[in-house]
Structure 1
Amino acid sequence: MGSFDIKQERRDLYTGRVGRFDVVDVPPMRFLMADGSGDPNTSEDYGRVIEALYTTSYAVRAVAKVGLGRVHTVGPLEGLWYAEDPGVFTARDKDAWSWTMMIWQPEWVTADMVVSAVEKVRAAKPAVAVDRVSLEEFAEGPAVQTLHVGPYDAEGPVIARMHEEVIPGHGLTASGHHHEIYLSDARRTEPARLRTMLRQPVARVAEQ
């Protein structure tokens, strides 16, 4: 049995095209999640959260492989970004950002398996902040998304177009947190080649 890869199984949610905005319906999915705030480029807390998420995700994968004989590819890092003033995103005022970082988990991973994985990490790597991580279901629903290729700081005009032109043009309004899916490893990819899915949950204007 091959490794289950959510990026391949749900290409409608994890692939896109630059300049094309797709309307998708995202089903409830489960993630390891951790919250925080501040500039992700300078916040030590952000680094601790990312380390905890990845370490726990790989531990969960190992537990599932041993316990169930099922193997999955650890999903990409994803982030929900929010603030009292949404304008801080187009202005790139990162100190005012709050975030929930997360990594997808397959449906066969149980809460008990996550507890077992956390215990293993805590015993082997006590400095990792596994207490920050929890398994949660996230129901996103209808959303507009597009692929951005380039530096994270160049996302502003794309996000602005999504909110000011594309979403209203479909008779929709933004509903929920801005969502980013990081398809590239920023440690190994030059900024101009970074691939990021930009997603915004939406609702029909009449539903508000």
Structure 2
Amino acid sequence: MKQTKLDLTKEYKTYYTAKTTPEIVEIEEGQFLTIEGKGSPDGDEFQAKVSALYSLAYGVKNICKREGKDFVVPKLEGLWWVESDKPALEVPREEWRWKLLIHMPEFVTYEMVEKARKEVIKKKNMNLQKKLGSRK
């Protein structure tokens, strides 16, 4: 029997779609994996944190899939701000602050996230050791 994947993009269409004219919409509470940082979106820190967040999201997805609750990893979201009196676009990109988010289904638990985090760290460390070991 084929398992159905939960797709939050389809489940919460109002949240994930925008019309050409602005409108106010009510959005339900949700849970997200998040990571914060500072700097240009084309900088090393931003790229590393996007990679880390996606690694964690797919780690959580794999744990859920093994438990029979598969889902599509939603799109990356971002909140941006500056700590200045100047308009944001007049502030150098290196000073931009951001919080990146990936929406998670309700059935994802803190324990699942922690397990995925440990698995991701272990895998990254093993890959780093392989790379470093191959330089000899």
Q: TM-score, normalised by structure 2?
A: 0.83
Amino acid at match of 1:121: V
Mind listing any 5+ residue stretches in structure 1 that lack a counterpart?
A: 129-208
Amino acid at match of 1:64: C
Question: What does residue range 171-190 of structure 1 map to in structure 2 within 5 Å?
Answer: none
C-alpha distance in structure 1 between counterparts of 2:79 and 2:12, whole Å:
19
On the 8 A contact 2:82/2:91 being kept in 1, the answer is: no
Query: 2:9 matched to which residue of 1?
Result: 7
On the 8 A contact 1:82/1:97 being kept in 2, the answer is: yes
Query: 2:35 matched to which residue of 1?
Result: 34
Are residues 1:53 and 2:53 paired?
yes
On the 8 A contact 1:88/1:97 being kept in 2, the answer is: no
Are residues 1:89 and 2:115 paired?
no
CA deviation vs aligned residue, 1:96-124 (integer Å, no higher than 9, x gap): 21011111111100000011111111111
C-alpha distance in structure 2 between counterparts of 1:101 and 1:121, whole Å:
18
Amino acid at match of 1:36: G
Aligned Cα root-mean-square deviation (Å): 1.9
On the 8 A contact 1:31/1:104 being kept in 2, the answer is: yes
C-alpha distance in structure 2 between counterparts of 1:96 and 1:88, whole Å:
12
Question: What does residue range 10-25 of structure 1 map to in structure 2 within 5 Å?
Answer: 10-18=12-20, 20-25=21-26
C-alpha distance in structure 1 between counterparts of 2:85 and 2:26, whole Å:
23
The total of aligned residue pairs comes to 125
Question: What does residue range 41-190 of structure 1 map to in structure 2 within 5 Å?
Answer: 41=42, 43-67=43-67, 69-85=68-84, 87-91=86-90, 93-126=92-125
C-alpha distance in structure 2 between counterparts of 1:92 and 1:11, whole Å:
33
Q: Rate the CA distance shift 1:66–1:16 in 2: closer, same or farther, 3 A.
A: same
| 3-state SS of 1:22 partner | coil
The Cα shift of 1:92 comes to: 6.3
| 3-state SS of 1:39 partner | coil
Mind listing any 5+ residue stretches in structure 2 that lack a counterpart?
A: 128-136
| 3-state SS of 2:63 partner | helix
Q: TM-score, normalised by structure 1?
A: 0.56
How many percent of aligned residue pairs carry the same amino acid?
29
C-alpha distance in structure 2 between counterparts of 1:90 and 1:8, whole Å:
33
The Cα shift of 1:126 comes to: 2.1
On the 8 A contact 1:88/1:94 being kept in 2, the answer is: no
